[in-house]
A and B are shown apart, each in its own frame.
Chain A
Amino acid sequence: MSETYNVLEKATNNNFSRKKFLQYAGVTTAATVAFGLVGCKKDSPVRVDDKVNLGSGDVGVLNYAYALEQLEAAFYIAVLNSAYGGMSSGEGLILEDLRKHEVAHRDWLKAALTSVAPNSVIPTLTFNFSAVNFSNRASVLATAKAFEDLGVSAYNGAGQLIQNTDYLVQAGKIVSVEARHAAAIRSMIASSNTSFAGDDIIDSKGLEMTRTPSQVLGIAQSFFNEQIDGSNLPVPN
């Protein structure tokens, strides 16, 4: 499913790309139509003028992680609030665990940020999941896969931007759990027996894909109602 990544890279901040996101993530035509309709609904106000600046330095990187964990947590909460038809008990247990883990990451990041930089914590963000058809298994799992793979690549890419050793260790403690998630979701989709660590995300040296914050935010932005500004984040040397 390498198309997921190719198209994720091209995603931009508009509703069209939200729909394309899932089309390319392997959703069936019928599902595409269904979430296309969902995408036309606007029952919550989109705060188009809201901008959120992640800040700079290590606090910026923590805010970056906090934004991504908020996104993942909100997604799994939504998934379990309207479980797709035919969700097996095994799938439900995995998705429930993922919800708990991402909520724990989110709540902990907020607390940790509040203790080290109380005036620089980004607010609670709001999300636009109009591209996801929560009643469709393929749509939900394709989105979960995209988020988990994105999360791993984000933490992997952010490691070298972190100055504080304790924060680096924390990023390491979380990224491997995201990778465990990604493998589990990929196995649920089961596009092949080797997709848990597929050649689409692991190169010929056995290294997993990494992404810079600007690459990650370019992909994830369409799911945030707020405009996430990562321009002050550290950049790789």
Chain B
Amino acid sequence: MSLISFLNQINDNEMDSESRDHFLGRKDALLKMTEFSKKLALAAIPLGVLSTFASPVKAQSTSQVIGVLNFALTLEHLENEYYKMGNSRSGLIPSGKDKDIFVQIAKHEQQHVDFLIDTITSLSGTPVAKPTFDFTVSGAFDPFNNYAQFLALSQAFEDTGVRAYKGQAPALKGNGPILTAALAIHSVEARHASEVRRLRGLKGWITQNNRGAGMPEATQAVYNGENQMVQLGVTVTSVTNVGADAVTEAWDEFLTMAEVNQIAGLFIVS
């Protein structure tokens, strides 16, 4: 979808005044943005527009909910495309357990794409088109010829997905059925993450903010902030005998939409 059509489909009247001012300022800025290269603009715009809805507010308009769902859809497109390419690459994924796992994960990602498109459409929204991806990040990775790299990026995508859905729960709070559906996707992503991590020889959960052995340094952003020790104002280690590492494992932390977009943006060409 083009930037202009995306911007124009937003019904400004559905936003509260503060969001509208914020949004219109952003919209204006985006519309005037002529100096950027075409590639940079295309890469930044869809996600940037969505991130204007990132702040958790009390009353969610339908267009805000649609914005969150399109954000989720972008991530699901990314995962879906990644596993489709991986599963169809002969000789990449060992047959048997590994292939069975990735076929099952791929099935879920396709189901999530379909579900989100249906839901957005049922809300009279327009589902974002599937972006064009570059999973090599201009040649930095080679996931479809190197299984270790395929696994590493899979772990990064799944752990990002968990943090991304978690971060949007507040923005869906006013819509029970959609919040519940998002949570029901969120836990599936967590199951995927757990399985892929163990396939790589790691624990299924995240210790401190460690990305884990064999993970490229470029994936560290996926794990930053996972080492929270304070939950709801309570320093957990002060109320339990459980040690700090296990405490950080016991809570997964969220990422904001902007943080997720920065991570996912690495793999999005347009």
Query: CB within 8 Å of B: which residues of A?
Result: 94, 97, 100-105, 107-108, 110-112, 115, 152, 155-157, 159-160, 162, 165-170, 172-184, 187, 192-194, 196-197, 202, 204-210, 236-237
Would B253 and A197 count as touching, CB distance under 8 A? no
Within 8 Å of chain A (Cβ to Cβ): is B193?
yes
Residue of A nearest to B57 (CB): A165
Q: Which residues does chain B contribute within 8 Å of A160, judged by CB atoms? A: 176-177, 179-180
Q: Which residues does chain B contribute within 8 Å of A205, judged by CB atoms? A: 111-112, 114-115
Which one of B15-23, B33-41, B165-173, B259-267 is at the A interface? B165-173
Q: Which residues does chain B contribute within 8 Å of A165, judged by CB atoms? A: 56, 170, 173
Within 8 Å of chain A (Cβ to Cβ): is B43?
no
Would B183 and A180 count as touching, CB distance under 8 A? no
Q: How far is the CA of A206 from the CA of B191 in the complex (A)?
A: 12
Looking at the assembled complex, report how far the CB atom of A23 sits from the nearest CB atom of chain B, in whole angstroms.
26
Query: CB within 8 Å of A: which residues of B?
Result: 56, 96-97, 100-101, 103-105, 107-112, 114-115, 162, 165-166, 169-170, 173, 176-177, 179-181, 183-195, 198, 203-205, 231-234, 236, 239-243, 246-247, 249-254
Q: How far is the CA of A220 from the CA of B173 in the complex (A)?
A: 27
Q: How far is the CA of A177 from the CA of B234 in the complex (A)?
A: 19
Q: Which residues does chain B contribute within 8 Å of A101, judged by CB atoms? A: 205, 242, 246, 249-250
The 9 closest A-B pairs by CB, nearest first: A206-B111, A193-B100, A107-B240, A179-B190, A160-B176, A100-B246, A180-B194, A176-B190, A207-B184
Residue of B nearest to A197 (CB): B191
Residue of B nearest to A100 (CB): B246
Would B108 and A108 count as touching, CB distance under 8 A? no
Q: Which residues does chain B contribute within 8 Å of A196, judged by CB atoms? A: 101, 104, 191-192, 194-195
Q: Which residues does chain B contribute within 8 Å of A105, judged by CB atoms? A: 250
Q: Which residues does chain A contribute within 8 Å of B170, judged by CB atoms? A: 165, 168-169
Q: How far is the CA of A105 from the CA of B104 in the complex (A)?
A: 30
Would A103 and B195 count as touching, CB distance under 8 A? no
Give 5 A-B contacts (CB < 8 Å), ordered by A residue: A103-B242, A165-B56, A172-B165, A204-B111, A208-B188
Q: Which residues does chain B contribute within 8 Å of A115, judged by CB atoms? A: 233-234
Q: How far is the CA of A103 from the CA of B243 in the complex (A)?
A: 11
**Apart from A107-B236, A196-B101, A196-B191, what 7 extra A-B contacts exist at CB < 8 Å?**
A103-B242, A104-B250, A105-B250, A173-B231, A180-B205, A197-B192, A206-B108
Would A104 and B240 count as touching, CB distance under 8 A? yes
Q: Which residues does chain B contribute within 8 Å of A172, judged by CB atoms? A: 165-166, 169, 183, 186, 252, 254
Q: Which residues does chain A contribute within 8 Å of B231, judged by CB atoms? A: 108, 112, 170, 173
